[in-house]
């Protein structure tokens, strides 16, 4: 059994600049941090060829195309895992809270699926693949910050370049200086 834990995030500044319509004109940038709330994905081989997907509801289907959950369907197709698996997701926070839960689900599921087929992906690769699923394949009207925040965790500055690439600075320090105990 494979279990992944992927964090949710909060943003401090730059929301909306991660949308292609914005960063294509110049660049976008956000400062965000992962929080101590996560989504957990498990994947295990089934004893038959069906797919069992359990999230807020449970689907048992014979073929990946029969899944109703669009993100799970796209991730399974992307990785070539199209039968004989059981996938569950359990989250510390309900969907729709504004903490990037769908992107955390996508990153966590891709991480689990690639591990299941014996391929390790870097945080950068997982974020880019999650963006491809949600933005390019499924055409969800979202930006890139959630996928990158979920894949990297921690506190980060992300720059969204006009060519679509994303740069990361870990633990940004913008003129904040620690000082000792001054009397």
Q: Which helix (H) or strand (E) holds 71?
A: helix 70-79
CA distance linking residue 121 with residue 2, whole number of Å:
15
CA distance linking residue 43 with residue 46, whole number of Å:
9
Q: Give the pLDDT of residue 86.
A: 98
E strand residue ranges, 14-84: 27-45, 51-54, 58-61
Give the architecture (CATH level 2) of 2-170: 2-Layer Sandwich (3.30)
Token readout for 79 is 């990785």
Largest CA distance in the chain: 71
Residue 139: partners with Cβ closer than 8 Å, 6 or more residues away: none
The single residue listed with the structure tokens 């992962």 is 34
Give yes or no for a contact between 171 and 156, defined as CB atoms under 8 angstroms apart. Answer: yes
Q: What's the predicted TM-score (pTM) here?
A: 0.91
Q: Give the pLDDT of residue 109.
A: 98
Q: Give the pLDDT of residue 179.
A: 41
Burial of 126 (0-12, 13-18, 19+ CB in 10 A): buried
Nearest alpha carbon to residue 32 among 170, 178, 129, 177: 170
Q: Give the pLDDT of residue 30.
A: 95
Q: Note down pLDDT in tens along the chain; length 183 residues.
A: 999 999 999 999 998 999 999 999 989 999 999 999 999 999 999 999 999 999 999 999 999 999 999 999 999 999 999 999 999 999 999 888 889 999 999 999 999 999 999 999 999 999 999 999 999 999 999 999 999 999 999 999 999 999 999 999 987 665 444 444 443
Token readout for 1 is 């059994």
**Distance, CA of 138 to chain centre:** 14
């Amino acid at each position: 059994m494979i279990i992944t834990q992927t964090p949710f995030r909060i943003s401090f500044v730059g929301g909306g600049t991660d949308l292609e319509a914005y960063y294509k004109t110049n660049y976008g940038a956000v400062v965000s941090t992962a929080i101590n709330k996560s989504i957990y994905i498990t994947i295990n081989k089934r004893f038959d060829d069906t797919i069992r997907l359990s999230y807020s509801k449970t689907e048992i289907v014979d073929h990946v195309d029969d899944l109703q959950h669009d993100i799970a369907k796209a991730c399974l197709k992307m990785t070539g895992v199209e039968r004989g698996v059981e996938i569950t997701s359990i989250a510390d926070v309900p969907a729709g809270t504004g903490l990037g839960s769908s992107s955390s689900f996508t990153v966590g599921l891709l991480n689990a699926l690639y591990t299941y087929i014996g391929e390790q992906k870097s945080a950068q690769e997982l974020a880019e693949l999650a963006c491809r699923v949600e933005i390019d394949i499924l055409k969800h009207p979202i930006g890139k910050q959630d996928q990158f925040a979920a894949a990297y965790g921690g506190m980060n500055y992300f720059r969204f370049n006009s060519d679509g690439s994303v740069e990361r600075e870990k633990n940004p320090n913008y003129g904040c200086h620690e000082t000792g105990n001054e009397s």
